[in-house]
Amino acid sequence: MGICHAYAPDGRCISLLKILMTNFCIYDCKYCINRVSSNVERARFSVDEIVKLTLDFYKRNYIEGLFLSSGIIRSSNYTMEQMVEVARKLRVEHNFGGYIHLKSIPEADPALIEQAGLHADRLSINIELPREASLKSYAPEKSGTVIRSAMANVRYGIESRQPDRKERGKARPPRFIPGGQSTQMIVGADQSSDSDIMTTSASLYSGYKLRRVYYSAFSPIQDSSGDLPLIKPPLMREHRLYQADWLMRFYGFEKDEIFEARQDGMLDLELDPKLAWALERRERFPVDVNRASREELLRVPGFGTKSVNRILSARRHTTLRLDHIARIVRSLKICRDFIETVDWHPSRALDLVTLRERFVPQPQQLQLL
C-alpha cells in the first residue's frame, strides 16, 4: 500500500519524488510547458543525481519511491535508456526497496520497455488526449497507434510472464512490473466531450488491463501557446470523470448507461453521475435493501461498495430498518429516496418532478462588501 507522506496545499498526495530527468524536449505538444517551442529555462539531472536524491529522500521517510518522467532528448531510445539506467542503479547497485514508476516513452524500442519492466513497479504510457484528431493538432509528433501498440507490448510482457497453470510450483519467473500499467489523459485542453474521454478509457481498460486512467485537468502554464484556452483548471469536471470511471470499474456500469441521458456528452457538474443516472431511471427504484442483489444495491445513489458489503452482511442477522441503514451508510440524505426497508418507503418522492432539486447544491446568497 502506498503512503502519502505529505499533502500539497492543492490537496494532492505526495508519495513519490516525481521529477523530470530533463525538461529539454524535441516534441512540440501544445499543452506542455516543456515543448520545444517554449522559452522556459532548461535543465537536466544526471543519472547519479537522481539516484542520490531518491535515496536521500527515501531514507528520511519523505517518499515511497520515484516517479521518473522526462522530456525527449536526442531520441526516444536514448532517453528511455537513461531512465532505465536510473531504475537499474537504484535496484541493483543500491538494493532500493521502494517504489519505482517510469513514464515510458511510447516510441522507444520494445526491448527497452522489457528492461524497464524488470526494475520498475509500474510503467505508464500517456494517452494524453482522448481523440486521434486532438492528438494530431495538439501533439503532432505523437500517434495514438504508437501509444496503443506500446501499451499492447506492456500487456503482452505481463501476460507472457504469468506462469502457466501446469507449471505452477516451478521457479517463479522474474518479477515484471508488479504494479501493472497506467495512463493519463488531459481534460479541458481540447474540445473532447466527457463521453469521448470515457469511451477512450473503457477501450483502454479493456484492451490493456490498465490499473488506472488518470484524468488531469488542464492547468494554465507559463509561457503558454496561443492555441490553447487560458482557463482555470476544470477541477469539478475532473472529479466527475473520476466518479464515472469508478462507476465503470467497481459498480457494474457501462459507459453508454452513464451517458444515455446526457445529450451533449458531458457529465452533470451539479450531481454525481450515479445520482444523475438514478434520477433518469426512476423505474428501477425503490430498491428493497432486504432483498435486492448486490448489483442492484450498487446502483443505489449514496451506497458505496463498502456500504453494500455491510448491508449484505447485516441482513444475515436481521431484517433491516431505516435506522439500521443510517448506521451503515455515511448519510441517508441521498439514498433514502431510492430505497425501501421494512419501515420505510419513499412513497411518492420518486414521482416528484422536483426531486432533482433536493440534491442540487443550494445557490449561495452573495454578501454585501
Partner 1 sequence: MHQISLSSETDFDGWRDAARRLAGQGVPPAKIHWSGSVAGGDDLFAAACAPEPASPAHWAPREVKVPKAFIDMAKRVICHRDPARFAWLYQLLWDLQSNRAALTDPLNDAARWVKGADKQIRRDVHKMHAFVRFRKVGERDGREVFMSWFEPDNRIVGLTAPFFMRRFTGMDWTILTPEACASWDGKKLTFAAGADRSQMPAEDAIEDQWRTYYASIFNPARLKVDAMLSEMPAKYWKNLPEAELIPDLIRQSSQRTGALLSAPSTDANIRSSRMSNFFAEDEAIEISSLDDARRAASKCDRCPIHECASQTIFGEGPVDARLMIIGEQPGDQEDIAGKPFVGPAGQLFDKAMGEANVERRKAYVTNAVKHFKFTPRGKRRMHQKPNAGEIDTCRFWLDLERKFVAPDVILTMGATALRGVFGKAVALKDMRGALTQLDNGTRLIATIHPSYLLRLPDRQRAAEEYDRFVDDLARARSLLRPDAA
Residues 100-139 that bind partner 1 (CB under 8 A): 132
CA distances from 354 to 26, 279, 348, 351, 363 (A): 55, 10, 11, 9, 16
How near is the Cβ of 367 to partner 1 at its closest, in Å?
A: 18
- Give the three-class secondary structure for 99: strand
Per CB under 8 A, the list member of 48, 56, 260, 270 interacting with partner 1 is: 56
Closest to partner 1 by CB, 155 vs 345, is 155
| Backbone phi and psi for residue 129, each to the nearest 5 degrees, phi listed first | -135, 150
How many angstroms separate the Cα of 302 from the Cα of each of 248, 273, 290, 316, 337? 16, 11, 17, 21, 10
Residue with smaller CB distance to partner 1, 7 or 358 = 7
d(CA 110, CA 156): 11
Taking CB under 8 A as the rule, which mask of x and - marks residues 210-249 in contact with partner 1?
-------x-xxxxxxxx---xxxx-x------------x-
Which CB atom, from 186 or from 279, has the smaller least distance to partner 1? 186
| Nearer to partner 1 among residue 14 and residue 266 (C-beta) | 14
Q: Which is nearer to partner 1, 38 or 285 (CB)?
A: 38
> What is the nearest approach in angstroms of partner 1 to the Cβ of residue 39?
5
For residue 304, what is the enclosing H or E element?
Answer: none
Q: Is 350 in the site for partner 1 (CB under 8 A)?
A: no
Q: Contact region for partner 1 (CB under 8 A) — 76-84, 144-152, 280-288, 297-305?
A: 144-152
Site for partner 1 contains 324 (CB under 8 A): yes
Report d(CA 144, CA 127) in Å as an integer: 7
Minimum CB–partner distance for residue 282 and partner 1 (Å)? 25
Site track for partner 1 across 255-294, x = CB under 8 A = x---------------------------------------
The binding track of 188-217 with respect to partner 1, each residue x by CB under 8 A or -, is --------------xx-xxxxx-------x
Range in contact with partner 1 (rule: CB under 8 A) among 117-125, 142-150, 181-189, 298-306: 142-150
Answer yes or no whether residue 328 interacts with partner 1 by CB under 8 A: yes
Q: Hey, what's the cell of 30? A: 501544445
Residue that is written with C-alpha cell 516525481 in the block: 18
Q: What angle do CA 88, 74, 204 make, to 5 degrees?
A: 65
3-state secondary structure 107-171: CCCHHHHHHHHHHCCEEECCCECCCHHHHHHHCCCCCHHHHHHHHHHHHHHHHHCCCCHHHCCCC
The smaller minimum CB distance to partner 1, of residues 64 and 285, is found at 64
Closest to 37 (Cα-Cα) out of 173, 225, 210, 167 = 225
What part of residues 149-168 is at the interface with partner 1 (CB under 8 A)? 149, 151-152, 155-156, 159
- The residue (of 223 and 270) whose beta carbon lies closer to partner 1 is 223
| Residue of the chain from 46, 48, 59, 270 that contacts partner 1 (CB under 8 A) | 59
> Maximum distance among all alpha carbons in the chain?
75
Helix (H, G, I), strand (E, B) or coil at 343: coil
Residues linked to residue 68 through DSSP beta bridges, in sequence order: 19, 102
Angle at 362 between CA 359 and CA 366, to 5 degrees: 170
Residue 347 CA to residue 338 CA, distance in Å, equals: 10
- Tell me which residue of 103, 120, 132 sits closest to 25, measured CA to CA: 103
Stretch of 17-25, 172-180, 187-195, 341-349 lying at the interface with partner 1 (CB under 8 A):
17-25
Binder of partner 1 out of 57, 176, 285, 338 (CB under 8 A)? 57
Question: Contact between 310 and partner 1 (CB under 8 A)?
Answer: yes
11 counts as binding partner 1 under rule CB under 8 A: yes
Binding region for partner 1 (CB under 8 A) out of 2-10, 121-129, 258-266, 296-304: 2-10
